[in-house]
Amino acid sequence: MKKLNFLYFDAGGGHRAAATALRATIEKRGLPLEVELINLQELLDELDIFRKITGLPAQEIYNNLLKKGWTLGSAHLLRIMHLAVRVYHSSTVLKLEELWRKNRPDLVVSLIPNFNRAIFESLGKALPGTPMVTIITDFADYPPHFWIEPQDQYMICGTDKAVQQALGTGLAKEKVFRVSGMIVNPQFYEIAQLSAEERAKGREELGFQPNHPIGLVLFGGQGAEVMSEITRDLQDRQLILICGKNEELAARLRATPHKAQIFVEGFTQDVPRYMQIADYFIGKPGPGSISEAMIMRLPVIVERNAWTMPQERYNTEWLIEKGVGVTLPNFRKIATAVNRLLEPATYAKYRAATESLDNRAVFEITEILEKLLTK
């Protein structure tokens, strides 16, 4: 049986989600592959300079910034992160060499940015000839030294922009694979489309008026303080508010008076079900959330400004290019944006644009990995 090592970390949650979705797809197909998920943060914990200074691991600092919305100047923070990666590069390589010699994988798959040079170098030293694949879980790279490095490895990209960036670094064309989008949990594909009656019943079960539109508000696994402002400004709109692990925010939203019906949820595995009964999506321009909304045919409203994470800025350009959503300079204009989006002709246009997309990346990548292991 061939062994695959998937590298992820929990900064933001999307990397783990992509790794687990891919593993689930491999297992469901019954492929003779052994997949091990490796949390790089845990492996390199003793080298984490941010923990040494603050007492918190780097990924927890990142998640707290997302939770509080303190992302202004995040491009500068990324440069500090890259400096720390360079300082500890040799030590990182040594730790990874130990891992590869112990695990002896047939293929190493990186679902993380920033460390791909160290992963490639360590693999070449410990297990020469073992292939490495990087799956870019963003719509595009944020160079330099984020996702793509000029090294002899495979690269899987979900957009034309990312493909161009990979080829631009000198990667051989035959080692760059274009798939149809981002990795999304196969659960989104497995849920059958609800009939009008089933959808209405699902809305009624949550206390909603079935004939009035429902917005789904989601800001990743950590939630975000801006959800309070959005809820306040959409007093007359029915909303599903998913707060992730931010229990304090969820409690506050439940206690906040609202003219229309709202349903507040914390961390949940039922996002596909909530998306089924919603009509549109409001959130941050994260690649996972946007991709999930597209599969569930929800037009999106996101914000782009100085607080937007640099690696997510291209996502806003992508959704405008595809005609599937609205980008706002700030959420203070959310009520106006929702009113315009829900005008029948406008909504029909956005909905049709989402239906023109066919993201099957999680299945395509499984086939690519299988082929690479038979070379």
Distance of CA 30 to the CA centre of its chain: 26
User: What percent of the chain clears pLDDT 70, i.e. is strictly above it?
Assistant: 90
For residue 234, pLDDT beyond 50 = yes
Cα dist from 29 to 25, 133, 184, 319, whole Å: 6, 20, 16, 32
For residue 74, pLDDT beyond 90 = no
What is d(CA 50, CA 64) in angstroms, rounded to the nearest whole number? 13
pLDDT for the residue numbered 70: 47
pLDDT for the residue numbered 11: 63
For residue 71, pLDDT beyond 70 = no
Segment 351-371 mean pLDDT: 97
Segment 337-357 mean pLDDT: 97
Segment 363-370 mean pLDDT: 98
Residue type, 50: F
pLDDT for the residue numbered 57: 55
Q: Which of 268, 285, 288 is nearest to 135 (CA)?
A: 288
pLDDT for the residue numbered 75: 58
Q: Which residues pair with 42 in a beta bridge?
A: none
Mean pLDDT of the chain: 90
pLDDT for the residue numbered 33: 95
For residue 300, pLDDT beyond 80 = yes
Residue 234 DSSP symbol: T
Segment 132-146 mean pLDDT: 95
What is d(CA 286, CA 309) in angstroms, rounded to the nearest whole number? 9
Segment 78-100 mean pLDDT: 85
For residue 22, pLDDT beyond 70 = yes
Segment 270-296 mean pLDDT: 95
Residue type, 193: Q
